[in-house]
Structure 1
């Protein structure tokens, strides 16, 4: 993949997440609770929980918060969250996949539909855009994990399918069912990853010009501000020049 900030151009911008740190902590905690409830509360025996805990640690979520989120899964009064995926289109013909965890499907559907329609997009039926993405595993490492050659060799040895390195860090792509096996194989060489999760990788990218980029970024910001929305994926590319103009 080419384009501005590579993976962060798919998942939007880390800076935007940093500004919404409290919301981010809440979303990470919710994923931990859901993962613990779906399996065992032991991260060593529950790959999804382990990935959620690692992602929380990478964002400096306090240990006490992580432990409370795990313990919450076993309580009788714990909320039941439903995983929902929305698909649609944003400004400039960009395809978007919006993943949510919610305890109120109607509320989330209304909020997502409103956000998309008010910011130059429209929702489609299930499968309307996901056919243009590959469902894969994605492991993230910071640039400090090593240079591109070191990470590439480690990923190849661990059984990964592709690696993208930049100044922002390293994205290691795996087959969907090999995610946790590859992540475990990488830890002795590169350390714990910043994140390991299932992801949507675009098959083709759409170049977004200045006229649409501002509206697109606003749409993604609004979606990410919603407590129920966990991740927004898209097939957009924005040039460095346009991003600089947007600030």
Structure 2
């Protein structure tokens, strides 16, 4: 089950970008409202809402904001958000999956297509890159929760599929259908996770050189900056050395 995570580089950078975005709370609120509309407004009775609330708490979103987002769903909010997925290729042939929650598909499609075209990418059709990914459950813990052996033992007991640990933390993978159950079991032994969500895990990653990597990160940032875009997944890997050069 254990192994070094090529995916950590992607996810940790994504987490850092999330914290910098001024519109992070609005995106978290949108996910909470949609989750509450799709099921019960009680997180204990609604697994998707519970995940949304936990992720909001992990980003230090105030309790009042969380409750307002839940109340918005039960208050007959006139905004009707739908889930949309876009797929395409970025610089260097990197495959990207963009997940969005939108009340206007035309607006979102135009914005996503523009971001791709202006930053060395090409937006494809649905299914054009998803075949290179697996739909999995993703649970993340900081390194401070314990060593690899402790986390591995807890993950095995909880029924997880795979654990990847490094100095940045622990990534635990589950089958999509088992995410809520495994996350609940891990919470009892390791405490509340930093991140719990459904993810697109690449089957093979692409090592990026400095030039294409810089353009790719501009594309990812442009997508992240769109209010409708919730998450951007990719099959790229950028080494620490390249990241240091890009951030210099």
Give the TM-score category using the shorter length: over 0.9
| 1:103-182 alignment runs, 5 A limit | 103-182=103-182
The 2-side partners of 1:98 and 1:84 are apart by 8
| Unaligned stretches of 5+ residues in structure 1 | none
Q: How many residues align?
A: 245
CA distance in 1, matches of 2:4, 2:107: 36
Structure 2, unpaired ranges of 5+:
none
Question: Aligned Cα RMSD in Å?
Answer: 1.4
TM-aligned CA distance change 1:10 to 1:194, over 3 Å = closer
How far is 1:12 from its partner? 4.0
CA deviations 1:200-243 (Å, max 9, x no partner) are 00000111101100000010001001000000000001111110
Give the secondary-structure state (helix, strand or coil) at the position aligned to 1:173. strand
Higher mean alpha-carbon deviation, 71-80 vs 95-104, is at: 71-80
The question of whether the paired residues in 2 share the 8 Å contact of 1:115 and 1:223 is answered with: yes
C-alpha change, 1:162 and 1:200, in structure 2 (3 Å) is: same
Q: What is residue 49 of structure 1 aligned with on the other side?
A: 49
TM-score by length of 2: 0.95
Query: Which digits, 9 at most, give the CA deviation of each residue in 1:49-80, with x for residues without a partner?
Result: 00000100000000000000001001123411
* Rounded Cα–Cα distance in structure 1 between residues aligned with 2:77 and 2:38: 16
Question: 2:216 — aligned with what?
Answer: 216
**In 2: Cα distance, 1:174 partner to 1:3 partner:** 15
Please say if residues 140 and 169 of structure 2, whose CA atoms lie closer than 8 Å, have aligned partners that are also in contact.
yes
In structure 2, the residue corresponding to 1:193 is in which secondary structure?
coil
Question: Secondary structure of the residue that 1:126 maps to in structure 2?
Answer: coil
